[in-house]
Amino acid sequence: MMKNFVSLTELSADEIWTVLNKAIELKTEWKNGGNKPILKGKVLALVFQKPSLRTRVSFDVGMLHLGGHGLYLSPNEIGLGGRESVPDVARVLSGYVDGIMARTFSHDHIVQLAEYASVPVINGLSDFNHPCQAMGDFLTILEHKGSLDGVNLTYVGDGNNVARSLMFTAAKLGVDFTIATPEGYEIEPEYVAMAQQFAAESGATLRFLHDPIKAVTGADVIYTDVWTSMGQEAETQKRLAIFPPYQVNEKLVSHAKDDVIVMHCLPAHRGEEITDAVADGPHSVLFPQAANRLHAQKGILALLMA
């Protein structure tokens, strides 16, 4: 079984299903009166370079539900890779805690933490992928569609870390994946090639388009994210001029299946990538999706730290 939870590319389909099934088990247990304290006495270090609402609260509460404790470490307290080298931070924290969750700018920092730590390391987000988000997302799709069989998942917007995470997970699990991006904002060719290898094994179909209407036609799930991610603020005005045709609005959603669900990893820039009418409308599962971060991550914590 996995030692760390760093990149979706490193996980087998069986390992991903193990996380999802554990999440379902723990969510059911929690709804029926609470989780068993399987992490009693355990401490998870929460290392943040980037701010977060969902990642911070869901990991903290997840540890509480499982009987353990989350220890928040702000960007200024560590200065990861600046004031102190990443390998040194990994080795120091390993002497104090039972697991490390890190939310970083550079994926290389996560990789180094996993290499030098003697306790499990969880990727809470990096510029390469967002695997915890993907687990919450696929848990949400399972709950609303009943199965992943025959599901068409369509992402509209920037080919960013969230888009890569959805692509890798879909390709591993045999879920058909379509992405529509503006020209110049596609997922990088080397990552597409990796996903196509996974898809060849699972039977998933991957489509890479520029036309958002064509992309969402027949979709079971429409997913979007902010047009400008943290760290790209200098590109904001340029992106605001390019991305409006990729807004998830009622007109775009009308081209998908009648029972389509609309997803967003949040925070949303309402009026940009998604309208209020869609975010708060009948197809939206934005907030059940956010809540499922808690349960998906409890699955990860239980498998790595119990």
The reply to whether 103 belongs to the active site is: yes
Q: What is the pLDDT of residues 270-304, one digit of tens each?
A: 999 999 999 999 999 999 999 999 999 999 999 99
Q: Of 98, 293, 295, 297, which one is the catalytic site residue?
A: 293
Please identify which of the residues 65, 103, 109, 295 carries the catalytic annotation: 103
Same domain (yes/no): 171, 197: yes
Whether residue 239 lies in the annotated active site = no
Instruction: Print the domain residue range for 225.
Output: 133-289
Catalytic residue list contains 132:
no
Point out the catalytic residue in the list 98, 220, 225, 297.
225
Q: Per the structure, how many domains does the chain have?
A: 2
Q: pLDDT tens digits, residue range 1-17?
A: 689 999 999 999 999 99
Candidates 133, 247, 289, 297; catalytic one: 133
Res. 46: pLDDT tops 90: yes
Residue 225 annotated among the catalytic residues of the structure: yes
Summarize pLDDT for 107-126 with one digit per residue, the tens.
999 999 999 999 999 999 99
Do 275 and 186 sit in the same domain of this protein? yes
Q: Is 188 inside a domain boundary?
A: yes
Residues 122 and 200 in one domain: no
Q: What pLDDT, on a 0 to 100 scale, did the predictor assign at position 27?
A: 98
Catalytic residue among 65, 265, 295, 297: 265
3-state secondary structure the chain: CCCCECCHHHCCHHHHHHHHHHHHHHHHHHHCCCCCCCCCCCEEEEEECCCCCHHHHHHHHHHHHCCCEEEEECHHHHCECCCECHHHHHHHHHCCCCEEEEECCCHHHHHHHHHHCCCCEEEEECCCCCHHHHHHHHHHHHHHHCCCCCCEEEEECCCCHHHHHHHHHHHHHCCEEEEECCCCCCCCHHHHHHHHHHHHHHCCCEEEECCHHHHHCCCCEEEECCCCCCCCHHHHHHHHHHCHHHCECHHHHCCCCCCCEEEECCCCCECCCECHHHHCCCCECHHHHHHHHHHHHHHHHHHHHC
Is 237 catalytic? The answer is no
98 is annotated as an active-site residue: no
Q: Are residues 266 and 153 in the same domain?
A: yes
Question: Which pLDDT band, with edges at 50, 70 and 90, does 63 fall under?
Answer: very high
Do residues 159 and 259 both lie within one domain?
Answer: yes
pLDDT tens sequence across 152-191? 999 999 999 999 999 999 999 999 999 999 999 999 999 9
Catalytic residue among 130, 164, 264, 283: 130
Residue 200 in this model has a pLDDT that exceeds 90: yes
